[in-house]
Every structure is written in structure tokens, then in C-alpha cells.
């Protein structure tokens, strides 16, 4: 879900907004003076965008993407679950539901301080 709020609303409701971002994955667009100023997202969402940007910095990424799309359309490829099992990563391919407990582990809190 995406919400647009003013920076004043952000200041007044920071704890609630942070909780919604962490538990529900809500994306907040923050306005200042009636114009877009910033976007608040959870770390997992941000990391996904950064990984995509890293891929797009590679030379030839567009050709690789086009070839991958052709392979997928032709039915060539393997299921992620099969590959994960081969690599010993069973269970890690399913995205977990966001919960506040999962998002704020004690070790993670210590790292960020």
C-alpha cells in the first residue's frame, strides 16, 4: 500500500508510520510544501531496489534480461524451489509474512545503533 502524507504528519505520527512500514510494508511518499520530497520504505524493499540497480550497472544487462524473458516465455528454465533444494536452501524461497517480531530482532537492533 502507498500513502502520501506531509512532513508535518510524519513528525506527528512517526512511531505509527514506522510500525506500518515495518509490519505491513506500507510505502510513504512525504511531501514538503505540497511537493514530493522523500519516500520511506522498509529495508527489504529498499535492498531489492538496490540489487536491481546493481544489476543494471552491469554491461549488457539489457541483452541478458531480454534473453531471460525469451527463455521464460519459451518455458525454458527451472523452478526456484528445485534450485534452492540443490543448493541446500530449502524453505528460503518463500517470502515470509511481515511481522514486527521478524523485522526487529534484537541482533538487528544492536547493529543499527
Whether the Cβ atoms of residue 28 and residue 19 lie closer than 8 Å to each other: no
SS (H, E, C) the chain: CEEEEEHHHHHHCHHHHHHHHHHHCCEEEEEECCEEEEEECCHHHHHHHHHHHHHHCCCCHHHHHHHHHHHHHCCCCCCHHHHHHHCCCCCCCCCCCCCHHHHCCHHHHHHHC
Together in a domain, 38 and 50: no
Q: What is the pLDDT of residues 46-55, one digit of tens each?
A: 999 999 999 9
Q: Are residues 31 and 12 part of one domain? A: yes
Percent of the chain with pLDDT over 70: 80
Q: How many structural domains does the chain have?
A: 2
Same domain, 72 and 88: yes
Contact 98, 22 (CB under 8 A): yes
- Structural domain of residue 36, as residue ranges? 1-42+103-113
98 or 67: which carries more pLDDT confidence? Answer: 67
**Start-to-end Cα distance in the chain:** 28
For residues 87 and 50, membership in a common domain is answered with yes
**Residue percentage of the chain with pLDDT more than 90:** 70
25 and 68 share one domain: no
- 33 plus 48 within the same structural domain: no
Both 58 and 35 in one domain: the answer is no
Q: State whether 16 and 48 are in the same domain.
A: no
Residues in contact with 52: Cβ distance below 8 Å, sequence separation at least 6, in sequence order: none
CATH number of 15's domain = 3.40.1620.10
Q: Are residues 31 and 72 in the same domain?
A: no
Amino acid at each position: 500500500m502507498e500513502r502520501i502524507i506531509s512532513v508535518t504528519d510524519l513528525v506527528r505520527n512517526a512511531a505509527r508510520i514506522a510500525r506500518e512500514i515495518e509490519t505491513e510494508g506500507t510505502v510513504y511518499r512525504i511531501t514538503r510544501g505540497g511537493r514530493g520530497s522523500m519516500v520511506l520504505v522498509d529495508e527489504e524493499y529498499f535492498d531489492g531496489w538496490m540489487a536491481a540497480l546493481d544489476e543494471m550497472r552491469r554491461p549488457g544487462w539489457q541483452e541478458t534480461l531480454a534473453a531471460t524473458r525469451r527463455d521464460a516465455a519459451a518455458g525454458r528454465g527451472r523452478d526456484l524451489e528445485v534450485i534452492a533444494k540443490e543448493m541446500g536452501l530449502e524453505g528460503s524461497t518463500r517470502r515470509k509474512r511481515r511481522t514486527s517480531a521478524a523485522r526487529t530482532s534484537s541482533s538487528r537492533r544492536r547493529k543499527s545503533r
